[in-house]
Amino acid sequence: MSGPLIVALLSTLAVGGVAYVFLYPILSGEARAEKRMRGIAVAEIEEKRARKSVDAGTSRRHQVEETLKKLEERQRSAKHPPLSVRLQQAGLDWSKRQFLIGCVAFGLFVAMIAKFLGAELYVVVGLAFAAGFGLPRWLLAYFKKRRETRFLEELPNAIDVIVRGVKAGLPIGDCIRIIANETQDPVKSEFRMIAESTAIGMPLPEACAKLHDHIPLAEANFFAIVITIQQKAGGSLSEALSNLSRVLRERRKMKMKIKAMSMEAKASAVIIAALPIAVMLLVYLTSPAYIELLWTTALGRTMLVSCAGWMMCGVLVMRRMINFDF
């Protein structure tokens, strides 16, 4: 074979091979099949990633729901605490036995004074019951309310300390210890209990959840919820606590606004409730013989007790109308 014929044959074979390599997959459909397989593989990978993210979001949502459910159950169970817990909520270091002994002793003391002054038996019994049962419970509720008010005034400042500490890179445990050493009571004592609980190995969410047992307020429960959710589900703690601090301050502003708007009605109720007593006192000072019939005769005493009962009902109704639950 001559040289040109061999070159032409080799050139033909080379062109045919190149054409076979590039044209055969297109003509046979292999290219379309490979493209389709790659598309299916990519779709499966994206579907798995989406399924994983959905599962992660669902599990996180379930964790948050379970946490909120447990905290709500704890809050419902704390509506009627025992006497020892109420003493702790009022900030008193008395034991239950000491409180009961004090109530009985004070009731007997008031009864002896009333008997010494010549009061009748039912008056002595009524005064003893009021002094031994009613007055201590009222004082306990008063001390508890005063302690809660002080706690609400200081809690936003304590949360701001945690926010600034977390932004500066401090652990939340160190921030809580700073609050336990630098703030005022009762926030100081309550956060000291949280720090001591975490120091002995108790998880931080559980230690914060006990705050609501000592301070039965919605604000304390909010703080426990934020810490618990952040510990379980993650997220920016400084941002969450900053929002909580802002919400607590806005709630306090709303309470002050409601209190200011209801002061007129409360002043009117106080005047209406004090008016009969003031009239009785003025009549007694001007004409004692005229009004002494109310407690020197049986009919007068009956009328006096009946009027006092109806007056008490009116005071309770007015109190119910002008006290807003917020």
pLDDT digit string, tens, across residues 83-92: 888 888 887 8
Least confident residue range of 30-34, 53-57, 66-70, 284-288: 53-57
Q: Let me know whether 139 and 68 are in one domain.
A: no
pLDDT computed for residue 54 by the predictor = 46
Q: Let me know whether 100 and 191 are in one domain.
A: yes
pLDDT above 70 (res 288): yes
Q: Let me know whether 114 and 209 are in one domain.
A: yes
Indicate whether 243 belongs to any domain. Answer: no
Task: Give the model confidence (pLDDT) of 93-102 as tens digits.
Answer: 888 888 888 8
Domain end point (choices 76, 102, 131): 76
Task: Give the model confidence (pLDDT) of 198-254 as tens digits.
Answer: 888 888 888 888 888 888 888 888 888 888 877 777 677 788 888 888 888 888 888
pLDDT computed for residue 30 by the predictor = 56
State mean pLDDT over 134-160. 87
Q: Let me know whether 35 and 149 are in one domain.
A: no
Domain end point (choices 53, 76, 99): 76
Indicate whether 254 belongs to any domain. Answer: no
Q: Let me know whether 54 and 21 are in one domain.
A: yes
Q: Let me know whether 67 and 90 are in one domain.
A: no
Q: Let me know whether 192 and 269 are in one domain.
A: no
- The pTM score is 0.65
Count: domains in the chain: 3
Using alpha carbons, select from 250, 226, 258, 229 the residue that is nearest to residue 240. 226
Least confident residue range of 2-16, 89-103, 298-312: 2-16
Among 72-76, 147-151, 290-294, top mean pLDDT goes to 147-151
Indicate whether 225 belongs to any domain. Answer: yes
Residue 221 · residue 75 · CB < 8 Å? yes
Q: Let me know whether 202 and 304 are in one domain.
A: no
pLDDT above 80 (res 186): yes
State mean pLDDT over 299-326. 81
Indicate whether 163 belongs to any domain. Answer: yes
Indicate whether 240 belongs to any domain. Answer: no
pLDDT above 50 (res 297): yes
pLDDT computed for residue 22 by the predictor = 57
State mean pLDDT over 272-286. 87
Task: Give the model confidence (pLDDT) of 48-90 as tens digits.
Answer: 665 655 444 455 566 556 655 665 665 555 566 778 888 888 8
* Residue partners of 188: CB distance under 8 A and separation at least 6: 179, 180, 181, 182
pLDDT computed for residue 36 by the predictor = 64
**What is the chain's mean pLDDT, rounded?**
78
Domain end point (choices 76, 102, 134): 76
pLDDT computed for residue 47 by the predictor = 62
pLDDT above 60 (res 21): no
Using alpha carbons, select from 71, 65, 66 the residue that is nearest to residue 213. 71
Label residue 114 by pLDDT band (50, 70, 90).
confident
- Rounded CA gap, 96 and 28, in Å? 93
Q: Let me know whether 207 and 268 are in one domain.
A: no
Indicate whether 249 belongs to any domain. Answer: no
DSSP-assigned states of every residue in 37-52 = HHHHHHHHHHHHHHHH
Indicate whether 71 belongs to any domain. Answer: yes
pLDDT above 80 (res 46): no
State mean pLDDT over 132-146. 87
Indicate whether 255 belongs to any domain. Answer: no
- Rounded CA gap, 163 and 19, in Å? 70
pLDDT computed for residue 79 by the predictor = 61
Structure tokens at 212: 């609501």
pLDDT computed for residue 56 by the predictor = 47
Residue 212 · residue 224 · CB < 8 Å? yes
Q: Let me know whether 272 and 175 are in one domain.
A: no
Q: Let me know whether 70 and 88 are in one domain.
A: no
Q: Which domain holds residue 48?
A: 3-76
pLDDT computed for residue 252 by the predictor = 85
Q: Let me know whether 205 and 125 are in one domain.
A: yes
